[in-house]
Amino acid sequence: MKTFKILIFLFGTVAVSGQVAIGKGSVTSASVSLEFETGNKGIILPWVTSTAAVTGAVNGTIAYDLTDHKVKVKYASGWKDLSVDTTGTTVDPVTSTDGVSMQTPFNEEPGAKVTVGAPGADPGILVLEDTNKAMILPKVSSPHLNIINPAPGMMVYDTTAKQLAVFNGTVWSFWKP
């Protein structure tokens, strides 16, 4: 009986889709690998000390650069700035906003990785491995008005202006295709 249960479990895991819905029951399309609930929330990108120091980044990698307070995306020719304003401010993720050390410091896990789709060798914290699916960003109407306390490196899709919105710690930058 135990062997039968194990076989059922294994066949069930093989049939599991490489699709993930966060905060909702299911994704809206078979072409989606990762989708978020609609609301006044966004995703916060990984914070890196400097994108120049990131090794092994593949094209399409997105991160928040603590050196110059910018959201950047990796292209073959280098890192492209997605933040328009250069006066971004940030808080150290290990200390509180006033610079006083937190009671419980966070320990970085350099090998931490979550993969959606068939696991591959590409480095990253959250890697979407599908070749025929895409991620749908959190959708927010006028995020600059409706997200009360955005974090540096936050990214959403603005449903009012129909464009990408990124927050650098001080101001929102908006990108149309």
Number of domains into which the chain is organized: 1
User: Where does the pLDDT of residue 44 fall: very low under 50, low under 70, confident under 90, or very high at 90 and above?
Assistant: confident
The answer to whether residue 89 sits within a structural domain is yes
Owning domain of residue 70 = 17-175
**pTM (2 d.p.):** 0.65
pLDDT of residue 11 exceeding 60, the answer is no
CA distance linking residue 116 with residue 28, whole number of Å: 16
Q: Find the mean pLDDT for residues 3-22.
A: 51
User: Where does the pLDDT of residue 141 fall: very low under 50, low under 70, confident under 90, or very high at 90 and above?
Assistant: very high
CA distance linking residue 93 with residue 100, whole number of Å: 11
Please write the tens of the pLDDT for every residue from 81-131. Answer: 888 755 555 444 444 444 444 444 556 666 666 677 677 777 666 777 777
User: Where does the pLDDT of residue 142 fall: very low under 50, low under 70, confident under 90, or very high at 90 and above?
Assistant: very high
pLDDT of residue 60 exceeding 80, the answer is yes
Name residue, tokens 């449903």.
Answer: 159
Q: Dihedral of the CA atoms 31, 34, 36, 42 (nearest 10)? A: -120
Tell me 51's DSSP state.
G
The answer to whether residue 1 sits within a structural domain is no
Of 32, 68, 42, 44, nearest in space to 125 by CA: 44
The answer to whether residue 168 sits within a structural domain is yes
pLDDT at 87: 55
Report which listed range, 3-7, 16-20, 44-48, 122-126, is most confident.
44-48
Q: Is 46 left (phi over 0), alpha (psi -120 to 50) or beta?
A: beta
Q: Which helix (H) or strand (E) holds 41?
A: none
CA distance linking residue 20 with residue 146, whole number of Å: 25
Share of the chain above pLDDT 70, in %: 69
Q: Find the mean pLDDT for residues 136-159.
A: 89
pLDDT of residue 35 exceeding 60, the answer is yes
